[in-house]
């Protein structure tokens, strides 16, 4: 391996490490509440090196969000592949179960929640749209379900975000029962 290739490999490995650290930090405090220094400290590198890898905080947040959507798509694919049969409704249900398992890890869930709250930043709004577009197109293509079923799939996913993020499952009220009806949501970890 040439010295240049070694440097590129190291930089790419650091980049992935920083993105993972960013997912963790941004999921805890959101876009506005997370300084680059917190991400750098978690990644065990200097803030200056973070800025060598990413043009700014927006670019780092977008990279973390893109990783989140990539992991989401991978989980949906695994769920679809494991479906008992390949009918559209069964595939969507299996993808929903896989997503429910994925968001049991609150980092990915909370990163998406924080991203939606930060859509007043144009780069983040565009990244959210790209991510939702990616998941919608994947769900439609992989399941073969009609548009209204895919729309319901995405809508139920957003309801799952609310249930998990707000701890709706901890409430025994009638309103919570209504929201929880028919939805399998992850156990808290």
Which has the closest alpha carbon to 142: 98, 90, 85, 91?
91
Task: Walk me through the domains of the chain, giving residue ranges and CATH numbers.
Answer: 3-180 (1.10.357.10)
Rg (alpha carbons) of the chain, rounded to whole number: 18
Question: What is the pLDDT, as a whole number, of residue 126?
Answer: 98
Give the long-range contacts of residues 127-135, CB within 8 A, separation 24 or more: 127/61, 127/62, 127/65, 127/66, 128/65, 130/66, 130/69, 131/65, 131/66, 131/68, 131/69, 131/72, 134/69, 134/73, 135/69, 135/72, 135/73, 135/76
DSSP 8-state assignment for residue 62: H
Residues 108, 135, 79, 151: is their CA dihedral positive or negative? Answer: positive
Question: What is the pLDDT, as a whole number, of residue 183?
Answer: 81
Question: What is the pLDDT, as a whole number, of residue 188?
Answer: 44
Show pLDDT as tens, one digit a residue, over the chain (189 residues): 455 555 456 878 899 999 999 999 999 999 999 999 999 999 999 999 999 999 999 999 999 999 999 999 999 999 999 999 999 999 999 999 999 888 888 899 999 999 999 999 999 999 999 999 999 999 999 999 999 999 999 999 999 889 888 989 899 999 999 999 988 655 543
Total-model pTM: 0.88
Going from the C-alpha of 70 to that of each of 83, 89, 149, 176, 177, the distances in angstroms are 20, 23, 22, 31, 32
Q: Where are the alpha helices (DSSP H) in the chain?
A: 3-33, 36-43, 47-53, 57-81, 88-102, 106-117, 122-143, 147-166, 174-180
Question: What is the pLDDT, as a whole number, of residue 189?
Answer: 39
């Amino acid at each position: 391996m040439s010295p240049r290739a070694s440097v590129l490999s190291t930089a790419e490995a650091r980049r992935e490490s920083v993105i993972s650290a960013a997912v963790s930090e941004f999921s805890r405090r959101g876009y506005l509440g997370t300084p680059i220094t917190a991400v750098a400290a978690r990644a065990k590198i200097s803030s200056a090196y973070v800025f060598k890898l990413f043009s700014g905080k927006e670019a780092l947040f977008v990279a973390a969000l893109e990783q989140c959507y990539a992991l989401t798509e991978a989980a949906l694919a695994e769920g679809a592949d494991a479906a008992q049969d390949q009918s559209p409704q069964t595939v969507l249900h299996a993808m929903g179960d896989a997503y429910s398992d994925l968001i049991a890890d609150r980092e990915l869930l909370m990163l998406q929640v924080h991203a939606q709250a930060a859509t007043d930043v144009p780069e983040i709004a565009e990244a959210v749209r790209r991510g939702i577009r990616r998941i919608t197109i994947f769900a439609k293509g992989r399941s073969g379900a009609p548009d209204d079923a895919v729309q319901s799939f995405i809508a139920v996913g957003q309801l799952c975000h609310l249930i998990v993020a707000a701890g709706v499952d901890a409430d025994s009220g009638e309103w919570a029962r209504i929201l929880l009806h028919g939805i399998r949501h992850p156990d808290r970890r």
